[in-house]
Each structure stands twice: as C-alpha cells, then as structure tokens.
C-alpha cells in the first residue's frame, strides 16, 4: 500500500507545473519511442495549458494509438444482473438511500438477457451488479456466469463487481472470467471516504488492495478506473499511474484495461454538488495522456459519452467501447418487449448519452474507417496477463488482432446485418485485408474470412 502516496502526487504535480514547449516536445518524442515516461514527465503533460501543447499531445497520442492498435475498436455490452446495493455511494442511482423496488435476475432471466445480447451480435460482456452479500452472494454471481457461458454464444465475460476476498477471486478465476474490473472511483482518500459514507465500500485500503488479492488468486487481467468528476483529475491520473506501476512491479503486468467513466446525472444526486466535474477538453486531455503513459493498456469508454465525444476519444487513444448498452436490470429483454408493447421507465444507474443500436454503431465505425472488433481470441487461447503484453509490445497486434477483428466483423455481418450493411461491410473488410502488410497474414486472413462467409465457419482466429 505504500505505493499510494498522496504527498508524493501533490509534490510531483507541483514540480511539473508550467512546462515549457521544449519539455513537452521532449516528453512526446520519448513517448513516441515507446520509452516509459517518468512520474515527473506525466505530471508535466498534465500541467500543459497552451493550445499548441494540447495539439501536439493529441497528435502523438493518436499516432501511438494507430500504430499499436491500428483501426480496431473492441466492442462490448454491459449486463446488469441486480440493483440491490447495501452501499450508499453519493453519486450512484443504485445507492441504498434511493427507495425503489430492487431487482435481481433469476438464472432463467440471466439466460434470457444473454440470448438477447447474443441476438444483437455481442460476444463480449461486462458483468455488472450492486453489492449485497445477503441477496447477492458470490455463488449467485458464479451461477449467472455459468448460465451465460452455457446458454449463449457469449465468449468472454469481464466482471465488474465489488471488491471481495482472495477466496472469492479464486472462484471467479475458476469460473473463467475475462478481466476483473474495479474502479477505484477516486485515489484521494478523504474524497473516497466522503463519497462512500458508512458502507462496505467505504474501506479505502481494502478497495485499493483488491487487485493484489485478485492477482494472488490467479486473475492476471485486471482493469482499473477512476470516476472522473469526484476529485481533481490530475491527481486521479497520477493515482492510476502509481497503481499501474505497483502492479507491474509486483506481478509483472499492469492494468489490462483502464476505464474512464465520467460522472453523469443519476437519481437522487445533483451534479452541482460535485465541484470537480471534468469538461470535454479536460477529458480529451486525460485520455490522450493515459495513452501516452500506458501505451499498451486498453482504454475503455462507455455509453456515458455522446457519439461525438466517443469518436473524438477513439482518435486520441480509446480502444474499447460499449455499444447498444442498457444499464437497467433485465433491460435488454424489457427493451425488446417495450418496442412491441409500448414504453417503460425504470431507475437506471446513471443516464446514457449514446442511444445508438449495435448495428448503428458498427455502421458508423465502418463509415469512419474504423474496424469494429468482437474478438475474444486472446482469452480463448490463454493469452492473458503478461502473455498478452508480450504480444502487444512485440508490435504483433497488427498481424494478429487486426485479422481477428476482421474475421469477427465478417461473422457479425453474416449473422446480424441486413443485405445492405452486409455488402458495405464486406467491401470494407476486403479493402482492409489488402492493407495488411505481411503477405502470409494477408493470405491467411482472406482464406479465413471467406471460410466464415462462404462456409459458415465461426470462432476462427489467429
Ligand atoms: N457495484 C460495484 C462497484 O461499485 O464497484 C460494481 C459496478 S457499478 C454497477 C459500476 C460503476 O458505475 C461504479 O464503479 C461507478 O464508477 C459507476 N457509476 C456509478 N454512478 C455513476 C454515475 N452517476 N455516473 C457515472 N458512473 C457511475
Ligand atoms: Fe452500489 Fe456500485 Fe452504485 Fe456504489 S457504485 S451504490 S457500490 S452499485
């Protein structure tokens, strides 16, 4: 725990104040050479204040994103299984002081949700729930995960549930989860205590050490995050970096992903009560700096952001987005029924800003020359933890992940798109294959895509 040091963060942010153009330029060159940035250098980037400096930061972040990740954007959807929660997080619609009739999906309901998500084309889910040890014991979550894997074509479930014991993490590991995701919300201890009053979640130290317990239990893909808007974003970015460095040093691999949720209006809270809200420009700055500081980590953005913002951020470093999301418990099935029967309204965890369907998101990405990816190959062939990082650092993502993305896009178009989108998408895939530089990989990708399209093969990957 001694890696988290508030005074150190405050001092380094002060030391990095008022960076010169030359300093920013030097840091960007270093980052472009893929050299690890020092804490002081990251603090300098966070303290950039002139338009010209921002533009350069965005430019290099965009280049690094493109060189490491290519045009791929990994696509997933959240599944909310319960809004029971014993915590009282001041920012969340599910907090216990909000009185509404709470739900917990039965295992049959979970199967139904998974099938609706599958029918939308999803292969990768983020599993979400409130925390309630009595109503939602770990066994319930394990049953849900088993039901999803067994009853649907969902291939990877990343799990975002409350911090728990090493024993429970071992059970989640044995249930073959993908990444274990937990947002620190804020690295600033006083703010953490303030926004988590009198609750299980209100134990700063226990929360901060959750990934150590997860790693020790065998979960080698962990995903961090901060809820931007609770405290000073510069402090939070430094907190994420220190946490990442600690994990790298102790377990040989840092965050597999970092999520960047921004505080949204929710039931029973007023955004005016949060003095550290982050504006669009600051948010773009955060994403670009994280891309420079943690070049190989996935950066996840949810439907909390508008389409315009999401597109902007993809260009600056975001590598995964949720699509066609519903944050209601049982929301996918209800939405499907509501379309037939009329409208419904329930208490969401927070408001969404991008209401496009998965098909619309996929088509918009194709129009923007981005490759929507439903790939889960790494997880399927055990390429997790430092094995994935080795692949990323070797520069092989382009030779492995891009063809895989194109294959999963072909599957998606064949299984879920109408004639028009299928034709448009196929053309896009064929052009993208021609762009693959390595001739052997190009040939292999072409063969596999044709196998999917013409022979109905599924779940192929390199
Ligand atoms: N209950 C668990 C927890 O709190 O860690 C797991 C998942 S919770 C459903 C997912 C995340 O939603 C929280 O970690 C929090 O950052 C985010 N969240 C809560 N209220 C929010 C709001 N008003 N705006 C944006 N994100 C919010
Ligand atoms: Fe519960 Fe998580 Fe919401 Fe807090 S953020 S009230 S723990 S669901």
Instruction: Tell whether ligand 1 has an atom less than 6 A from the beta carbon of residue 227.
Output: yes
Lowest model confidence (mean pLDDT) among 16-25, 43-52, 230-239, 393-402: 393-402
Q: For the domain that residue 362 is a member of, what is the CATH number?
A: 3.20.20.70
pLDDT at 378: 74
pLDDT at 419: 94
Which of 344, 340, 316 has its CA nearest to residue 328?
344
- For atom 5 of ligand 2, which residue has the closest CA? 92
Q: pLDDT category, 459, cuts 50, 70, 90?
A: confident
Closest-lying ligand 2 atom to the alpha carbon of residue 96? 6
Residues 216-223, mean pLDDT to the nearest whole number: 97
Q: Which ligand places an atom closest to the C-alpha of 85?
A: 2
247 in a structural domain: yes
Out of 332, 367, 402, pick the residue that ends a domain. 367
Copy the structure tokens of residue 391: 């692949």
Q: Rounded distance, CA 116 to CA 408, Å?
A: 18
Q: pLDDT category, 375, cuts 50, 70, 90?
A: confident
Residues 366-381, mean pLDDT to the nearest whole number: 85
**DSSP conformation letters of 362-379:** HHHHHHTT-EEE---HHH
Same domain, 144 and 88: yes
Q: Ligand 1: which of 349, 350, 351, 352 to mutate, most ligand atoms within 8 Å of CB?
A: 349
Same domain, 336 and 396: no
Length of the chain: 462
Q: How far is the CA of 306 from the centre of ligand 2 (A)?
A: 23
Residue 441: CB atoms within 10 A of its CB come to 18
Selected residue with higher pLDDT from 360 and 246: 246
Closest-lying ligand 1 atom to the alpha carbon of residue 183? 14
- Helix, strand, or coil here: 324? coil
Residue 312: CB atoms within 10 A of its CB come to 17
Residue 343 has pLDDT above 60, yes or no: no
Out of 338, 367, 396, pick the residue that ends a domain. 367
Instruction: Tell whether ligand 1 has an atom less than 6 A from the beta carbon of residue 283.
Output: no
pLDDT at 338: 75
Q: How far is the CA of 201 from the centre of ligand 2 (A)?
A: 8
Label each residue of 103-169 as H, E or C.
CECCHHHHHHHHHHHHHCCCCEEEEEECCCCCCCCHHHHHHHHHHHHHHCCCCEEEEECCCCCHHHH
Domain carrying residue 171: 66-367
Q: What percent of the chain has pLDDT over 70?
A: 96
Residues 250-257, mean pLDDT to the nearest whole number: 96
262 in a structural domain: yes
Q: pLDDT category, 49, cuts 50, 70, 90?
A: very high
Instruction: Tell whether ligand 1 has an atom less than 6 A from the beta carbon of residue 290.
Output: no
Lowest model confidence (mean pLDDT) among 131-135, 352-356, 400-404: 352-356
Selected residue with higher pLDDT from 453 and 387: 453
CB-defined site of ligand 2, < 6 Å: 85, 87, 89, 92, 94-95, 130-131, 162, 201
> CA separation (Å) from 149 to 103, 114, 200, 252?
22, 9, 30, 29
Q: Mutual orientation of helices 280-293 and 51-69 as an angle, nearest 10°?
A: 50
Same domain, 206 and 117: yes
Residue 443: CB atoms within 10 A of its CB come to 12
Same domain, 229 and 251: yes
Residue 344 has pLDDT above 60, yes or no: no
Same domain, 100 and 247: yes
Residue 294 has pLDDT above 80, yes or no: yes
pLDDT at 347: 55
294 in a structural domain: yes
| Mean pLDDT over the full length of the chain | 92
Q: Ligand 2: which of 162, 196, 207, 267 to mutate, most ligand atoms within 8 Å of CB?
A: 162
- For atom 8 of ligand 2, which residue has the closest CA? 130
Same domain, 276 and 414: no
Global confidence as pTM: 0.93
Q: pLDDT category, 352, cuts 50, 70, 90?
A: low
Instruction: Tell whether ligand 1 has an atom less than 6 A from the beta carbon of residue 213.
Output: no
35 in a structural domain: no
Contacts of 52-57 with C-beta under 8 Å, sequence gap 24+, read 52/21, 53/19, 53/21, 53/24, 54/281, 54/285, 56/24, 56/25, 56/28, 57/24, 57/28, 57/285, 57/288, 57/289, 57/292
Instruction: Tell whether ligand 1 has an atom less than 6 A from the beta carbon of residue 91.
Output: yes
162 in a structural domain: yes
Q: Rounded distance, CA 365 to CA 352, Å?
A: 19
pLDDT at 354: 66
Residue 188 has pLDDT above 90, yes or no: yes
Same domain, 283 and 385: no
Same domain, 124 and 219: yes
Residues 304-330, mean pLDDT to the nearest whole number: 87
Instruction: Tell whether ligand 1 has an atom less than 6 A from the beta carbon of residue 349.
Output: yes
Q: What percent of the chain has pLDDT over 90?
A: 78
Q: How far is the CA of 92 from the centre of ligand 1 (A)?
A: 6
16 in a structural domain: no
Q: pLDDT category, 389, cuts 50, 70, 90?
A: confident
pLDDT at 306: 83
Out of 343, 367, 391, pick the residue that ends a domain. 367
Count of structural domains within the chain: 2
- For atom 6 of ligand 2, which residue has the closest CA? 95
Q: How far is the CA of 185 from the centre of ligand 1 (A)?
A: 8
Instruction: Tell whether ligand 1 has an atom less than 6 A from the beta carbon of residue 182.
Output: yes
């Amino acid at each position: 725990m001694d890696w988290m040091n508030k005074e150190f963060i405050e001092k380094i942010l002060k030391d990095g104040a008022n960076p010169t153009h030359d300093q920013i330029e030097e840091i960007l060159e270093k980052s472009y050479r893929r050299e690890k940035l020092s804490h002081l250098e990251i603090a300098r980037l966070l303290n950039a204040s002139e338009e010209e400096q921002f533009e350069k930061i965005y430019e290099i972040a965009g280049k690094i994103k493109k060189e490491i990740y290519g045009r791929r954007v990994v696509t997933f959807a959240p599944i909310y299984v319960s809004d029971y929660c014993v915590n009282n997080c001041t920012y969340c619609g599910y907090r216990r002081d909000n009185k509404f009739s709470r739900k917990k999906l039965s295992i049959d309901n979970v199967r139904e949700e998974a099938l609706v998500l599958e029918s939308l084309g999803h292969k990768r889910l983020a599993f979400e729930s409130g925390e309630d040890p009595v109503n939602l014991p770990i066994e319930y979550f394990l049953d849900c995960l088993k039901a999803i894997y067994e009853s649907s074509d969902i291939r990877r479930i990343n799990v975002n549930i409350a911090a728990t014991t090493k024993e429970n993490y071992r059970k989640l590991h044995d249930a073959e989860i993908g990444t274990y995701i937990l947002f620190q919300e804020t690295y600033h201890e006083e703010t953490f205590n303030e926004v988590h009053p009198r609750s299980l979640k209100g134990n700063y130290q226990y929360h901060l050490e959750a990934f150590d317990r997860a790693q020790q239990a065998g979960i080698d893909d962990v995903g961090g995050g901060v809820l931007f808007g609770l405290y000073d974003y510069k402090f939070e970015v430094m907190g994420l970096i220190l946490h990442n460095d600690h994990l790298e040093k102790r377990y040989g691999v840092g965050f597999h992903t970092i999520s960047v949720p921004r505080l949204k209006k929710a039931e029973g809270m007023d955004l005016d009560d949060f003095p550290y809200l982050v504006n669009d420009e600051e948010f773009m700055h955060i994403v670009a700096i994280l891309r420079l500081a943690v070049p190989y980590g996935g950066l996840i953005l949810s439907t909390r952001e508008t389409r315009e913002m999401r597109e902007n951020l993809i260009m600056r470093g975001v590598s995964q987005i949720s699509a066609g999301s519903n944050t209601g418990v049982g929301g996918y099935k209800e939405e499907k029924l509501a379309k037939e029967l009329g409208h419904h309204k329930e208490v969401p965890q927070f408001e969404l800003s991008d209401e496009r369907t998965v098909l619309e998101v996929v088509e918009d990405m194709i129009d923007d020359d981005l490759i929507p990816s439903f790939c889960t190959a790494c997880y399927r062939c055990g390429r997790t933890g430092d094995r994935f990082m080795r692949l990323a650092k070797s520069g092989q993502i382009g030779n492995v992940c891009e063809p895989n993305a194109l294959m999963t896009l072909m599957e998606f178009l064949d299984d879920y798109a109408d004639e028009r989108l299928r034709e448009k998408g196929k053309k896009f895939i064929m052009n993208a294959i021609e762009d693959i530089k390595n001739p052997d990989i190009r040939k292999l990708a072409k063969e596999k895509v044709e196998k999917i399209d013409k022979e109905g093969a599924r779940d192929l990957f390199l």
